[in-house]
Amino acid sequence: MFKASFHPFLIPDDNSFKLNKAATEPGKKAPDDEECERRLAACVEEIADLQHILYAHDRYALLLVFQAMDAAGKDGTIRAVLSGVNPAGCHVTSFKVPSAEELDHDFLWRTTRHLPERGRIGVFNRSYYEEVLVVRVHPEFLGAQRLPNGVNNRNFWQWRYESIREHEQHLARNGTVILKFFLNVSKDEQRKRFLSRLEEPEKHWKFSEKDVAEREHWDQYMAAYEEALNETSRPWAPWYAIPADNKDFMRLTVAEIIRDTLKALNLSYPRPDPQALSRFNEMRAMLEKDK
């Protein structure tokens, strides 16, 4: 089973992650924007090649989960990092407010239907983690889920974390490599990005009054994130808290983690057995004669 190795932004599984200590900006030693862009371009090509081998190897799937506050740059990161990958080799799904049909099922149902097949990269833009984030901040949303035992049980959220941990461990045991990215944008950077959505006409479409209202709950969101990330970061399904105030650095960091994970799987093109190889020679001879 895949296990994450050390990384400065990896959230450990010992409950020690403190969100208010996590960087939202690149460190002083980080590469400048130009270098980030240059390295990203190379990394994107490597990811595309690795996905091709992932497909031929046919043992693993890769699931990338993205969670963040509004305007942190989920869409742009997904676009930048996967831009080189064969469109047939990856599938992005965005999860919005659940539909009536989705609410009629357990909370892991809607995402399960979009899990990647062996050989493919599946991307979740938001995910079942919304169930312990936005729903934690707005427990009134639980009413629509019509859960039989009510939600007042004091273990309610622990049960949800447990379901998520078990779900992810099950997937990992069966060949899905899971990487989870929390794009950690600061409250002030979010304010600036909302302002630019108001100021620049070509960004008006991105502006949402609802996003500004959600900002009022910033501290509750941070508490929900901190707990959820601590409860669910495990070596086979690690969370990374990526500084998100600088987009070039964020995109490069995410791309490098994906590339390094795929590399560490030691993927290879399958080698035909000797019998098949001798059949190749026969086939070649047949095709050459068949002019």
Task: Point out which residues bind ligand ATP (CB under 6 A).
Answer: 70, 75, 94-98, 126, 130-131, 134-135, 141, 208
**CB-wise, 5 or 208, nearer to Mg ion?**
208
**CB-wise, 28 or 96, nearer to Mg ion?**
96
CB atoms within 10 A of CB 291: 4
Nearest distance in Å: CB 121, ligand ATP? 19
Site string for Mg ion, 43-82 (x = CB under 5 A): ---------------------------x------------
Q: Which residue has tokens 């009022």?
A: 216
Nearest distance in Å: CB 141, ligand ATP? 5
**CB-wise, 209 or 288, nearer to Mg ion?**
209
**CB-wise, 197 or 259, nearer to ligand ATP?**
197
| Alpha-carbon distance values, 121 to 6, 51, 54, 63 (Å) | 23, 8, 9, 6
Residue 131 binds: one of Mg ion, ligand ATP, none (C-beta under 5 to 8 A by kind): ligand ATP
Residue 130 binds: one of ligand ATP, Mg ion, none (C-beta under 5 to 8 A by kind): ligand ATP
Nearest distance in Å: CB 16, ligand ATP? 27
**CB-wise, 83 or 145, nearer to ligand ATP?**
145
Residue 141 binds: one of ligand ATP, Mg ion, none (C-beta under 5 to 8 A by kind): ligand ATP
Nearest distance in Å: CB 208, Mg ion? 6
Residues at the site binding Mg ion, with contacts judged by CB under 5 A: 70
